[in-house]
Structures are given as structure tokens and as C-alpha cells.
Amino acid sequence: MSNPINIAIDAMGGENSPYKVIKGIEIHSSNTNNINYNIYGDQKIIEPLLKKSKIKSKIYNITHTENYIKDTDSPLTAAKKGKNSSMWLAVESLKNQASDAIVSAGNTGALFVIAKLNLKMIERIEKPALSALWPNKIGMNVVLDLGANIECNEKNLVDFSLMGSALHKSLFENEMSKVALLNIGSEELKGNNVIKNTYQILNEKKNSLFEFKGYIEGNKIMDGDVNVIVTDGFTGNVALKTAEGTANFITSELKKTMNSSLLGKLSALLNIKNLKKFKNKLDPRLYNGAILLGLDKPVIKSHGSTDEIGFANSLKVSEKIIKGKLIEKIKKNII
């Protein structure tokens, strides 16, 4: 048997933690093997939850600290006070080679600052990028950057293309990665100078990791013609929040319609299987786990408000990218 994967977990970050974190570990550990969990947080709260769970004692280790980063802490405050916090200790375990990846549902800004203070950037990558999974008609998109960098140059966007494709290949090894630049039009002359220059670079220099498909407009993201979508952090974050808001609007309106009359309730009952499929397609918990790409170790950010199902999915993402050798793929292909 190969060496086990060690996942560091900040157990105190996010809403309803550490309860949802321990439940998430329970769900994840029941569907996999050869995984160890290095749990960082308040042992007095965590240990009783573990004892009530079905998690085997031999697959976890608790490092006790009562100090944790609050959601209201600024990144600078977190960095100053956080050297004994659950988040800092979890990240530090990657630097010390005790863990292979970290998952935290805590303060996003603090996680990024602490990760950058403790971990090295991959050589020849200038900026990290925040990436996440979005569903499309036939599978899944990798989208980046989602907010780590407001302004990007051509080198950054080319790096994002490589890192996003490496992530896609790590998660979906049998699929060809197809990259597109998010733009205001599909014509070659559309967009600002950075986008147009990046287009030229990617179009002229072929890469074995991905196929470059040109531009994509926002209304085509879900079509499935491409699966790695690259943009700057400002545009990506706006697109992400718009997509999340639209998904929530559709599901809530559909639920209202189905419960508003006897006919609606009957229709819902008759179509329960199809409605369940539809709900799962838009369920953000099933795509939980944003990845900070560009550092020499995987850093995974679980949504702070997700539940145990969402947290378990972020653990699944971390497992897949370690097994898929994400960091090695980026190092091998970076220019």
C-alpha cells in the first residue's frame, strides 16, 4: 500500500464549526481509505465530537489550540495574532512536511495571507490564483481567478491557463483540458490590450497540457464547449457572485411555484426524480472547495457557510488533487 495522504484541517473556521468539520470528515472517511486527518483546534470541543462519530481513532491526530481566526479579523490582524491559531498551525504543517494539503472553512483573506507567509510560490509563477469548480451542461468547469488578483498582466493570465489546466487534469484525468479567456465578445479584436495580447500568446504557443479555444462570453460559460475559463480576479469574482445569485434565485422561485398550489404540489410529486437531479446540478455544496493555485502546496478553501456535505466535498477535492499530482503538473508545464 502506498503512503497515506495527510490532510491538515483547520477545525475552528466557518459557521457551525467544529461540528460540521468533524461530520464532514466522517462522511469523507467513509467513502475513501488511506487518508489521515491532522486536526487543529480546541481538543475539549473536538474530542467529544470525534468519540460520537464513526471515524476510526487511528486515522486522525489532534493538535490542541484554543486560539482561532475569527471571520471579523482582518488578514493583517490574523497574521499578527495567529501564530498559535488553528489556521496558522494547519498551514505550518504543510511547510514542515507533516501534511500534504490544508482545508479550512475560515476567514478567506486570513487563509491566503497565512498561506503566503508560510509557503513558497512555485518557481516562475508571479501571482497565485483562486480557482473553483462550476457545473456546465456536460460536466465541470475550472474557473480562475476568482478574487485573489484584481489586476493581471499577460504573464499572469498565461500562468492561470497552465495552472487551471493542471487542476482540471488532476481532477478529471481522462478529459482534455480546453482553455478560453472570458471576454466581452468572441471576436479576436474584442477586449482590452491585456486580453488581446494573452490571446496572441496562447494562440501561437501550443501546450501539451491544454487546447486553447479562444474567447468565451459570460452567457456561454455553462455550455460545456470549454472547461478551463481564465480571467482576472475582479471579473471572475463578479461572475461567480452573479452565478451564485442566479442559481439561488432559480431554485427558490421554483420551490415557491411548486408549493403555491395543489396543482404545483402534484406536479412536483410527479416530477420528483427530475427535480432532484435539477437541484443537485445547482447545489453549491457539491462543488465546494476553492483552490489557491501557485503555492508549492495545495491550499483549499471551503465555503464558510457550507454544511458537513459541503465540507466533505472540499476534502474530496483535496484528496483528488494530491492523487492527481497537481503541483508536479504545474511545475512541469510552467514557462
Dist CA 66 CA 303 (whole Å): 22
The per-residue pLDDT for 263 is: 60
The per-residue pLDDT for 85 is: 93
Q: Which three cell numbers stand for residue 195?
A: 486580453
| CATH (residue range 131-285) | 3.40.718.10
The per-residue pLDDT for 149 is: 86
Query: What is the residue extent of each domain of the chain?
Result: 1-125+294-335, 131-285
Q: Residue 279: which pLDDT band, with cuts at 50, 70 and 90? A: low
- Find how far residue 63's CA is from the centre of its chain: 25
| Per-residue pLDDT tens over the stretch 289-315 | 789 999 999 999 998 888 999 999 999
Residue holding cell 396543482?
Answer: 263
Q: Which three cell numbers stand for residue 31?
A: 467513502
Hey, what CATH topology would domain 1-125+294-335 get? Isopropylmalate Dehydrogenase (3.40.718)
| Per-residue pLDDT tens over the stretch 198-231 | 999 999 888 888 999 999 998 888 888 999 999 9
The per-residue pLDDT for 205 is: 82
Residue holding cell 498582466?
Answer: 153
Task: Tell me if 114 sits within 8 A of 89, measured CB to CB.
Answer: no
H-type alpha helices, the chain: 19-29, 43-52, 75-81, 86-95, 108-118, 154-171, 193-204, 233-259, 262-270, 272-282, 308-323, 326-333
Q: Which has the higher per-residue pLDDT, 253 or 166?
A: 166
The per-residue pLDDT for 240 is: 81
The average pLDDT across 137-162 equals 91
Contacts of 219 (CB under 8 A, 6+ apart): none
The per-residue pLDDT for 35 is: 94
Q: Which three cell numbers stand for residue 276?
A: 432532484
Domains 1-125+294-335 and 131-285 alike in fold: yes
Predicted TM-score (pTM) of the model is 0.87
> What number of other Cβ atoms are within 10 A of residue 248's Cβ?
12
Task: Tell me if 178 sits within 8 A of 228, measured CB to CB.
Answer: yes
